[in-house]
Amino acid sequence: MDDDYPLLGLFWTMLWFFLWIMWLFLLFKIVTDIFRDRELSGWVKAGWLILCLVLPFVGVLVYVIVRGMGMTQRETAHAEETEAAFQDYIRTSAAGSSSVSGGGADELARLADLKEKGALTEEEFRKAKARLLA
């Protein structure tokens, strides 16, 4: 058996492949961050993209040094917005399905309770009841 490709060569090839994959992941993360940032103008976004595509390793390194901390903050803000939108969707869906499936009776009872406690006037109660039953 001829050892044209020793074990150390295989190790180095795998290491470079792994680093290349990490760099691609970071490049996609940076491009996503550039487009997600609402504070950057179109020209600045174009400049960052050109830098990252023409001088890939230098561009990615400079971007991470200059705007790395903001990337984390923007990613966190995006995750919070997404979570809030999802929770809002769940609440609206649950409210819409509860009136259909008999949960409207619970809502009507709650409205009657508020009316008895004096939190709602008779007119407010009638409007809310009509909206609930519609």
- DSSP characters over 1-65: ---SS-HHHHHHHHHHHHHHHHHHHHHHHHHHHHHH-SSS-HHHHHHHHHHHHHSHHHHHHHHHH
Q: Is 83 exposed, middle or buried (0-12, 13-18, 19+ CB in 10 A)?
A: exposed
Rounded to whole angstroms, how far apart are CA atoms 121 and 118? 7
| pLDDT at res. 112 | 83
In the predicted structure, residue 121 carries a pLDDT above the cut 90: no
Residue in 44, 69, 71, 48 with CA at minimum distance from that of residue 60: 48
In the predicted structure, residue 82 carries a pLDDT above the cut 80: yes
For residue 124 the two structure tokens come to 């407010």
| CB-side neighbour CA atoms (13 Å) of 122 | 0
Neighbours of 40 (CB within 10 A): 16
| pLDDT at res. 97 | 58
Using pLDDT thresholds of 50, 70 and 90, give the confidence band for residue 1: low
In the predicted structure, residue 21 carries a pLDDT above the cut 90: yes
Residue 120 is classified by DSSP as S
Using pLDDT thresholds of 50, 70 and 90, give the confidence band for residue 29: very high
